[in-house]
């Protein structure tokens, strides 16, 4: 056998190495319809990356996050597809209220939007959000079956409420929470705090802060520890501040600072919120 010339050998090594980097990327579906069909058959989520041609952050997401060793195995548990906001994805981007690129949109097996990640997240944070979306999708059938078989299974109802809230299904989340509150009005099982908190955060994510405030009040009332109560009331004060409602934010912060068992970290946060609230112009 003739020896391979050194230059040719080097070229072959380069060519062999180059495709391997590309092979590490997600297995993108060719079209959104194909992705939906695959998701419907497998029960997986569709993960849509909405991008634009002139978006440098989109390239950064593709290079640093979607090819990351922690993220890549998770992408096998969804059906990924890419849509160009200015071309084939124009209608969907408007329907999904995509405000920036890149935006990751999650669709359930029926094609309904059940979550989104706007902008760039580092790989570890992105992986965490992706795991939560995948876990919710996998657990929903089991939890629904548990509640159907035993309506008194409040733990299953609480998990359902949190998953529904994470997916932006506010009506279903509220119904699940109300079922828990009816069965356990004194919150003896301590299941309501996380459910109310998740619902409040879902209202925030939906840009409905006025509806988030009473939900955070419910979370605070259902908290069993100073940390839980403090976190819920800080969320309430922060939401009021976002609404430029200085009076509510200041009142809530002042009440928080009266709590003898307010944690040190929470005290620092409250003092910062109070300072910002006092700087708002009077109405």
Q: How far apart are CA 147 and CA 257, in angstroms?
A: 41
Instruction: Note the pLDDT tens digit of each residue in 204-233.
Output: 988 899 999 999 999 999 999 999 999 999
Helix axes 226-242, 246-257, angle to 10 degrees: 160
Q: How far apart are CA 98 and CA 121, in angstroms?
A: 16
Q: Which long-range contacts (CB under 8 A, 24 or more apart) does 242-246 make?
A: 242/209, 243/209, 243/210, 244/280, 244/283, 246/277, 246/278, 246/280, 246/282, 246/283
Cβ pair 25, 62 in contact under 8 A: yes
For 144, residues 6+ apart whose C-beta sits below 8 A from its C-beta are 160
Q: How far apart are CA 281 and CA 283, in angstroms?
A: 6
Instruction: Note the pLDDT tens digit of each residue in 7-63.
Output: 433 443 444 444 333 336 899 999 999 999 999 999 999 999 999 999 999 999 999
Q: How far apart are CA 23 and CA 96, in angstroms?
A: 30
Domain boundaries defined on the chain:
23-131
Question: Which tokens in the block code for residue 107?
Answer: 């669709």
Instruction: Note the pLDDT tens digit of each residue in 167-189.
Output: 999 999 999 999 999 999 999 99
Q: Which helix (H) or strand (E) holds 160?
A: helix 154-166
Give the pLDDT score at 84: 96
Instruction: Note the pLDDT tens digit of each residue in 85-138.
Output: 999 999 999 999 998 999 999 999 889 999 999 999 999 999 999 999 999 999
- Calculate the alpha carbon distances from 142 to 5, 148, 161 in Å: 61, 10, 14
Q: How far apart are CA 176 and CA 156, in angstroms?
A: 9
Q: How far apart are CA 138 and CA 208, in angstroms?
A: 28
Question: Which tokens in the block code for residue 141?
Answer: 């059938």
Q: How far apart are CA 104 and CA 94, in angstroms?
A: 14
Give the pLDDT score at 109: 85
DSSP code, position 55:
-
- CA 269 vs. chain centroid, Å, equals 23
Give the pLDDT score at 283: 65
Q: What is the largest CA-CA distance in the chain?
A: 89
Cβ pair 168, 113 in contact under 8 A: yes
Cβ pair 154, 189 in contact under 8 A: yes
Instruction: Note the pLDDT tens digit of each residue in 197-209.
Output: 999 999 998 889 9
CATH topology of domain 23-131: Glutaredoxin (3.40.30)
* Residue position matching structure tokens 């928080």: 256
Instruction: Note the pLDDT tens digit of each residue in 241-268.
Output: 999 999 999 999 999 999 999 999 999 9
DSSP code, position 29:
-
């Amino acid at each position: 056998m003739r020896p391979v010339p050194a230059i040719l050998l080097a070229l072959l090594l380069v060519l062999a190495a180059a495709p391997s980097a590309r092979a590490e990327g997600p297995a993108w579906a060719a079209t959104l319809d194909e992705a939906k069909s695959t998701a419907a058959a497998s029960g997986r989520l569709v993960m849509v990356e909405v991008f634009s041609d002139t978006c440098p952050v989109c390239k950064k997401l593709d290079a640093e996050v979607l090819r990351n060793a922690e993220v890549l195995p998770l992408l096998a548990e969804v059906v990924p597809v890419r849509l160009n906001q200015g071309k084939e994805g124009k209608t969907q981007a408007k329907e999904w209220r995509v405000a920036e690129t890149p935006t990751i949109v999650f669709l359930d097996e029926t094609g309904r939007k059940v979550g989104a990640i706007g902008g760039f997240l580092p790989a570890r944070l992105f992986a965490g959000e992706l795991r939560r979306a995948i876990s919710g999708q996998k657990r929903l059938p089991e939890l629904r079956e548990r509640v159907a078989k035993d309506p008194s299974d409040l733990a299953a109802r609480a998990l359902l409420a949190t998953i529904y809230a994470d997916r932006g299904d506010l009506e279903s989340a509220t119904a699940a929470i109300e079922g828990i509150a009816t069965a356990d009005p004194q919150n003896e099982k301590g299941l309501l705090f996380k459910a109310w908190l998740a619902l409040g955060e879902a209202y925030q994510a939906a840009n409905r802060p006025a509806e988030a405030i009473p939900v955070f009040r419910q979370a605070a009332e259902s908290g069993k520890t100073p940390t839980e109560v403090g976190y819920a009331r800080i969320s309430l004060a922060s939401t009021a501040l976002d609404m430029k409602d200085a009076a509510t934010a200041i009142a809530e912060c002042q009440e928080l600072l009266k709590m003898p068992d307010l944690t040190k970290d929470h005290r620092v946060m409250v003092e910062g919120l109070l300072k910002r609230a006092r700087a708002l112009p009077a109405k």
